Structure 1
């Protein structure tokens, strides 16, 4: 940059002085922020309104579920034990780790209670997904209407899944808009699972990973509370 400036009408400037100027400006050209342009979906707002209305005013007497999969969860163990926190020092975690495979789960959350039912899956496809739905259908009281919130994953929109829903008319599907799976409340549960179990966990095997996730679900259900949708559509104020 100093050479570029030297070739202009401006006064000559050294490389070190250029570095000091850039440091003072706190420029960080290496930083990149990801962005995903919302797909031009004509029914975007209609889908959003439908899902939010379902959360805020669930139909009387109906079961309302939020279902999704969390896939390719890594079972990793650190090569050396971590060092616990001490006064003035954060917890230290070993950088190197061993891989022990991955696990995937499918989970259904009752939005009225916040309780979650989950199970490990080997494949994330329509056959596996409808088998999970069938198990739910078998334990939910006959005659009760079931509303389910789903994103647009391939296992949820496949022809096989559509046929299953047609054969089970008490199931009413509410799809989130494309690129808006965050509207699916079970994602809040997955976020808590990641923070409290997965991110800093140490798992000796795939079975150990699944066992610890199961224990978390059991503990979660003992004190489960529903998530309350509080956003009222008012634009957020800037600080």
Structure 2
């Protein structure tokens, strides 16, 4: 069982001025920055092992790009697996629907509309954002992607199966 989602258009920002040291030894970071573009990823989490992959999107995140990701997953995981994903336009387009019809061993579990939190990979996106993307400056998209890849390598050493529970409010 795999969980799939997109982390789209993360801004790549570089500071206008370097960080400086304040008189008390603390770091002073300027708020001004220069935009250096954006980076997008397809995130995949194996729900059984908890292993995570972040696949950098090299083009727009349309049906053709999404089908390339599906082809990759089929090559890596074989022709039979379950995929949890939201019902975004690229996931439900006629091209994607046709591709999935040609691959009946891939079972799709769509999350309900407005319930992205049900998809386990969305939690991973929140963690990578807080631990890597929120507090660092990157000069290029490749720098940003490299930082995410290093985080994924570290997380892979300590990954755990997905354990998803919930309860109704009383």
Query: What is the TM-score when the length of structure 2 is the normalising length?
Result: 0.91
Correspondence for 1:228: 163
Distance 1:161 1:92, change over 3 A: same
Q: Distance in 2 between matches of 1:93 and 1:175?
A: 42
- Secondary structure of the structure 2 residue equivalent to 1:213: helix
Distance 1:83 1:107, change over 3 A: same
Distance 1:91 1:182, change over 3 A: farther
Higher radius of gyration, 1 or 2: 1
- Secondary structure of the structure 2 residue equivalent to 1:72: strand
1:136 to 73, 96, 99: 73
Say if 2:109 is the partner of 1:163: no
- Secondary structure of the structure 1 residue equivalent to 2:159: coil
Q: Distance in 1 between matches of 2:45 and 2:143?
A: 23
- Secondary structure of the structure 2 residue equivalent to 1:179: coil
Where structure 1 has 5 or more consecutive residues not aligned to the other structure, the ranges are 1-63
- Secondary structure of the structure 1 residue equivalent to 2:7: strand
Correspondence for 2:54: 118
- CA deviations 1:71-113 (Å, max 9, x no partner) are 11111111223357998x9754320011111111111100111
Correspondence for 1:180: 115
Deviation (angstroms), 1:198:
0.6
Count of residues in Structure 1 that have an aligned counterpart in Structure 2 = 169
Distance 1:176 1:84, change over 3 A: farther
Using CA pairs under 8 Å that are at least 6 residues apart, name the structure with larger relative contact order, 1 or 2.
Answer: 2
Deviation (angstroms), 1:234:
3.7
- Secondary structure of the structure 1 residue equivalent to 2:129: helix
- Compare the two structures and name the one with the higher strand fraction: 2
Distance 1:138 1:99, change over 3 A: same
Q: Distance in 2 between matches of 1:166 and 1:118?
A: 26
